[in-house]
Amino acid sequence: QVQLQESGPGLVQPSETLSLTCAVSGDSMSSYYWGWIRQSPAKGLESIGYSFYSGTTTYNPSLNSRVTISVDSSKSQFSLTLSSVTAADTAVYFCARIRTTVGGVFADSWGRGTLVTVSS
Amino acid sequence: DIQMTQSPSSLSASVGDRVTITCRASQRISTYLNWYQQEPGKAPKVLIYGASTLQSGVPSRFSGSGSGTEFTLTISSLQPEDFATYFCQETYSTSWTFGLGTKVETK
């Protein structure tokens, strides 16, 4: 059974870059997409973007200019960078495995989430 | 952007009740609609994908229906472990917009 675990700083300064890593264990990263989703009281659940294990990426248009998601299959991990952060980027950040089937596309496994606060 | 409107935002129910939650999309999304359950302090868990397909391991009391712009999640007989918040999500666009959630509370 696949397990995902987020890691990274819990506090980021305004205008700086947020960087998180998701470690994947229990399954191969091939044949899946890997994504990031965040949740805040102000905006609720918000998809950030996702990347195929080979590197093809899709980002939420509202964050597209500030986001990079990359996959490192050799290390069984993928990462998120979000630049020029503001207080509005304060949220719990989840990493997730994305399954694509004939019936649909959905996040079938999630990390526990990590709270990132943007504040000076 | 596609907007996803869930109703109600909260409801009170008892064990054994039939519960129905609705999600409306601001434009047609075919059946690119998922339902998730989230307990406090935990990550969401997928229940239904493709509007009506039950995810493996999810109890059969959960069911989903709809296509186009209107979708429904039904819990046929509410169990104690079902008191949680439920979210719909569209995967038709690249935004993958979520609804704001429906909190199911005990009456």
DSSP 8-class letter at B99 = P
**Distance of alpha carbon A3 from alpha carbon A6, whole angstroms:** 10
Which of A61, A108, A113 shows the shortest C-beta gap to B55?
Answer: A108
Q: Cβ atoms within 10 A of the Cβ of B4, count?
A: 22
Residue with tokens 């229940």: B47
Query: Cβ B89–A106 below 8 Å, yes or no?
Result: yes
Predicted confidence (pLDDT) per residue in A64-113, tens digit? 899 999 999 999 999 999 999 999 999 999 999 999 988 789 999 999 99
Predicted confidence (pLDDT) per residue in B5-46, tens digit? 999 999 999 999 999 999 999 999 999 999 999 999 999 999
Query: Cβ A112–B89 below 8 Å, yes or no?
Result: no
